[in-house]
Structure formats: structure tokens, C-alpha cells
Chains A and B, each alone.
Chain A
Amino acid sequence: MNSGQGPAIQARGLSKQFGTLRAVDNVDLTVPRGHVYGFLGPNGSGKSTTIRMLCGLLTPSAGEIQVLGLNVPEEAEALRLRIGYMTQKFSLFEDLTVRENLEFLAAVQGLPRQQARERIDQLIDQYHFADRQKQLAGTMSGGQKQRLALAGAVINEPELLFLDEPTSAVDPESRRDFWEKLFDLADLGTTILVSTHYMDEAERCHRIAILDRGVLVADGAPGALTRDLAGRCVEVVAAQPRRAQQVLVNFPGVLSVAQIGNSLRVLAQAKEDLSATLSGALQQAGLEASVHQAEPNLEDVFVAATRGQTRDGAGSDAA
């Protein structure tokens, strides 16, 4: 198989129709090998559906997919030996122990006995399960379950790893740990497609894609995407932030206003410096405030991309 060359994932015109709902709509996606690729989007935007189509679990309504050089879903069976998939909902067996779960996965992935034992010992050590090998998976905490699911997904040392919200129940400390592991894997050449709702995680990815109602609205390196927003972000420090927000939220040219502690973060609909106009508006309303330009961050990118009105972010290919 043509493993070495070409992107890990290439999808063209990918769509999925559930009855009248178009869950995924004409998505083009290219994931280069060895990348950690972030998948963002509001709830129900089609992240899980896209991932399932990419691993051959759902049949696309339209579009073409090539994963690791294989046509999906036609050649999905051959693909399954080379990928790992961590489902959004915990899908290991709750009535098996940690070790039994790993033994099962090793066996169905076809690892020879001796090799399986070594690999399991290694994973149990790496993923800190040494003192819970005999604990039933169902009795573990949410974060522990997700750690186990990741260990299970990488048991066959896959070339490509699909992780669907792997850290949704994980504390910040363990999340850092988790991402260290992902980068270790990436260093070894594993391509990782990971969906997340955390901006700090998205920040770490080599590249991200943002889905909104099934449509791909942004795709690029986090740095490039934030750079595209330069000049659209304004920070307002006000004595009465709630009231200032009420004044600004319907102001022409303003896409969104979010309160962060005592300050407000204002995102403009287009690339224009709003600081002077906003400052004037607040003074008129009799509100004390200092207004200045701010560095855009990924959350701004997310909001700009999913608020609909402007589609500036979409297709900005600056990586």
C-alpha cells in the first residue's frame, strides 16, 4: 500500500444526510501525515459524524474519502488494522477489568501473545494503571476511563488516531498529561485527528478545522487563523461591565461581546478599528471605560467562524 506518500486523510465533498438533516455538508478536508489536527465546532455541528465517516463506520451520503491511501468505506476493513479510534462515549467494557479490556483489544488487533503482554505492561505503566489493573472499567472515574480508552486506541501502534473529545471529563493537570502523550505519539509519526471544545487544546494543534452546522467554516494553522483576525478585537475595561455590554451588543459592526471578569471582549464583524467609535458610544451612555485594541485569540476565531454573518475565516489557507 502507498503508505509513505500523500496526506493521511483526504476528503472531498463529504456529506451526510440524516433524514431531512444535513449533518455534514460538502466538507473538504486534508490532514497531513504526522500532524495533530484539531476538530472544533459547536454541539451538533457534525464532528463525530465526520470522524465516523472517516473511519468507515458511517456511509457518506456523498463525497470521496481516502485514508492512508485506502478508499473508505470500501476498504475500511484493511484500514481498521492501521488506525485507532477513541469514541466520544466510553465504549470499552464496563464489566471487564482494565487489563482484560486491554487484553481483548490486543487480541482482536492480532498482536501475538508475547508481544501483547509486553505491550499491555508497557501501556499500563505509561498510562498509570499499575495499581488498578484488576479494577472493573465501569467503576473508574470519568477521566480514568478516558485514559484507558486512549491506551486501548493506541494498543496496535496505529499510524492514524481518531480521538473524539478525548478530554471532555479530564481535569486540567491530567489534560496536560494527556496532550504530552499525544505529542509523544505525534513525534513517533502518528497522525492524530482530535475533536475538542477546549481552546487551549486547539491552540496546541498543528492545524485546526472548525465545523458549523455541518459546514467547514475555517481551516488552517491556529496562528494563521488568529492573525487573520488582527484588528477586529477590542478590549473594554469598564466599571460597570454588564451595562457596557448592553450598550455595545447591538452596536452596528459588532459581532459579539463577551464578558471576561471586569473587561469586555468585543469582536468586530469586519476588519475595522472600532475602539474610537465604541469609546464614544460608551461615553454617550455615561459609562466610564477604557477601550483599546487587543490581540485576537482562538476563541475569537471560533466565535467569528461560527457566528455566521461573516465567513472571513472560511477557507483562509495560511498554513
Chain B
Amino acid sequence: MNWQRLYAIFLKELRQMRRDRITLAMIVVIPVMQLVLFGYAINLNLRHLPAGIADQAGNAASRTVVMDMLATGVISPVARANTPEQLMDLLRRGDISVGVVIPPDFERRLNEGREAIQVLVDGSDTVVQSAAIQLARMPLTQASASRTEPISVVSFYNPERRSAVNIVPGLIGVILTMTMVLFTAVAIVRERERGNMELLIATPVSRAELMVGKVLPYAGIGLVQTSVILLLGLWLFQVPIRGSVWEVYVAAVLLILANLTLGLLISTRAQSQFQAMQMTFFVFLPSILLSGFMFPFAGMPQVVQWLAEALPLTHFLRLIRGIMLRGADLTEMWREVLALLVFTALMMTLAILRFRKRLD
């Protein structure tokens, strides 16, 4: 490895990047957009489901129950109805997601311990369904005054169960996985497409110099993105960093390296930028679905879990959630650190072996 040549490649890449306005914009726009999307729009704790209410009892007790339901914030009244049939119409048309029916004999049923309230749900959306089921479990005592929940769930580390707190650390991983793999893969394939590769391999630049020099600037970009997400997360959603900030960055660097080397490997295979893009998504999709970012890891079948263990994002998520939310430190999670390092070494070796300083 010759430092002068390595630096020459690095500097060239940096200069080209500076002139590539779109890529430059993407570096900041992608994390900001994703953060806002996941933080605000994709809120896994559903709130304000459009609801229709048919209060057939129309007395003080039934009104109290309705007010209690609205107070949970899960539903917002958008329609009033007189009969369950009208509510079903509204449901079918998609005007409401939830219908609440309070029958005329509401109080008598309550006293007799029979079903007092009917909740109609749009079952075509599983998330809405589960939210409505929670609503139906709302304890109903006659006076609605002294209510005690028979079972209470206490959530450690995220007492308010805000999803932003869970999502933001993971989002660092998701964004780094997407941008780092794609940027590097495309950066090298583009060189091949534009004919620069013939010039490069005719120079004394070695394979390792070329690869390392090309990915280093992107590692810098990854750290910028990490900082953007951390700051915005803190500012918009008050996401805490309970462990050390320094270790958050170490974890980010580990993931960045794993993804950059994966991008390099892809670049040795892809013939065009489009192919590089396709291959990136081939890796990106399982990363999102299986790493534990979207769905809990424990709920997945054994085979899928093994598969997920091969994804860098899986290990990063454990690291970053540990550091940011539980205040754990890296030494406690050395297995994940090791996994990321092994992945990086493996990808780098494969990429360098596969990359030929030849045109055929």
C-alpha cells in the first residue's frame, strides 16, 4: 500500500463528489427524509383512527364511556350514526376504520355482565385491528370513576412506548446500509461505464489502493449521516443516548466498513449502474425485514434467524440499541463487534480477489 497513491485516489474521489450536486444533496436529504417519515408518519402506536359512533343509549353513562374512549387518543370521531348498519356502510366505504356501537340496553347489559359495547373494525388492516382490540379491552366499570387495570405492563427503557425512540437508532443502520452499499457500488461501476477503468488499471495503482482510496470518502459521508440522524433524533424526538457518544460512532464505523466492503464486492460483479442498484436492493430488503428493525427478531423462524445473523444490520441494531437505549457498552456486546469485523474482512478479501486489473 503506497500512501501517495492511496491519497491520490481519495482526493480524486472527493473532488468528483464535490461536483456531483445530486449525490451531495442525497447525503443529507436521505437521512432527514427517512427520519421524518419513520418518526412522524410511520407511527406504530396508532392514534386518531377515524371512528364512527352510534350511541343508541344516549344517556349519561353511555356518554361517559364515549368520552373515555376518545380520551385514549386512539380514535377520533368523524361520523355519527344511529344504527350498526349505518356504521358498517361507513366502514365498507372506508370513511371510518372503527365503529363503536352502544346499544339502547347498555346499562342493563353492563349490570348483567354481558357484552355491553360492540366495536366494529376494518379487519383488512391488521394494525388497525390490533389497536381496536386494545380499545375493546378498555375496562368498563359502571361508574367509570374508580377504575383499576387488572394487569399493567411496564416498559423499561422506553416507558412511554414512543416508537421514535426505538426507530431512530435503527434508522442510523438502515440509512447507512442503503447509502453506503449503493454509493460505493455505483462509484466503481460508473468508472467502468465511463471508460476510466481502462486508464486506472493501466497505471501502477494497486487493487487495494484503488478500493480503499475509493471507499474512504464514503466512510466520511456515513459519519456525517450518522451525526445528522443523532442530532435530529435528539431535537425532534428527544431520543436519548444513554451510553457513550463515542461508542455510538465506533458502532457506526463498524457498520459503515461492513457496508462499504459489501458495496465493493457488488461492484466487481455489476456491469452497469443499474445492475449495481438492483443488487443493492437485493441486500437492502432482507436487511430491513429480517434485522429486527421492522419486526421483532425473536418472532422469526430459526432458519430466517440464521439468515439474519449474516446481515450486518442485525448486529448493528443490537449494538446501537444497547448503547443508545440501555446504556450498555461495546465490551459487553463484543460478539456483535466481532461479527461486523469478520463480515468486513471477508467482504474486503473477496472484493480484492475478485477485482482483476484486467479488462477480461
Question: Which A residues between 25 and 43 are near B, CB-CB below 8 angstroms?
Answer: none
A196 is an interface residue with CB less than 8 A from chain B: no
Contacts of A224 in B (CB 8 A): none
Across the two chains, which residue of chain A brings its CB closest to B194?
A94
Instruction: Report the separation of the CA atoms of residues A59 and B205 in the bound assembly, to the nearest whole angstrom.
Output: 19
Contacts of A95 in B (CB 8 A): 15-16, 19-20
Choose the segment among A84-92, A120-128, A184-192, A309-317 that binds chain B (4+ C-beta atoms closer than 8 Å): A84-92
Task: Count CB-based A-B contacts (< 8 Å).
Answer: 75
Contacts of A76 in B (CB 8 A): 357
With A58-B358, A77-B204 as known contacts, state yes or no: A107 contacts B198, CB within 8 Å: no
Choose the segment among B5-13, B87-95, B142-150, B177-185 that binds chain A (4+ C-beta atoms closer than 8 Å): B5-13
The 5 closest A-B pairs by CB, nearest first: A107-B8, A91-B199, A85-B202, A80-B204, A91-B195
Question: Which B residues between 93 and 114 are near A, CB-CB below 8 angstroms?
Answer: none
Q: Are A87 and B360 in contact (CB under 8 A)?
A: no
Q: Are A104 and B204 in contact (CB under 8 A)?
A: no
Question: Which B residues between 192 and 227 are near A, CB-CB below 8 angstroms?
Answer: 194-199, 201-206
Q: A59-B360, A87-B199, A108-B205 are in contact. List 6 more A-B contacts (CB 8 A).
A: A57-B202, A59-B358, A73-B358, A87-B198, A91-B194, A93-B12
Contacts of B4 in A (CB 8 A): 107, 110
Q: Are B201 and A57 in contact (CB under 8 A)?
A: yes
B155 is an interface residue with CB less than 8 A from chain A: no
A81 is an interface residue with CB less than 8 A from chain B: yes
7 A–B contacts from the bound complex (CB under 8 Å): A58-B359, A81-B204, A87-B198, A89-B195, A93-B196, A107-B5, A136-B19
We find that the number of chain A residues with CB closer than 8 angstroms to chain B is 30
B134 is an interface residue with CB less than 8 A from chain A: no
Q: Are A108 and B204 in contact (CB under 8 A)?
A: yes
We find that the number of chain B residues with CB closer than 8 angstroms to chain A is 28
* Minimal beta-carbon separation of B198 from chain A (angstroms): 5
Q: Which residues of A contact B (CB under 8 A)?
A: 52, 55-59, 73, 76-77, 80-81, 85, 87, 89-96, 100, 103-105, 107-110, 136
Instruction: Report the separation of the CA atoms of residues A276 and B11 in the bound assembly, to the nearest whole angstrom.
Output: 71
With A87-B195, A87-B199 as known contacts, state yes or no: A110 contacts B204, CB within 8 Å: yes
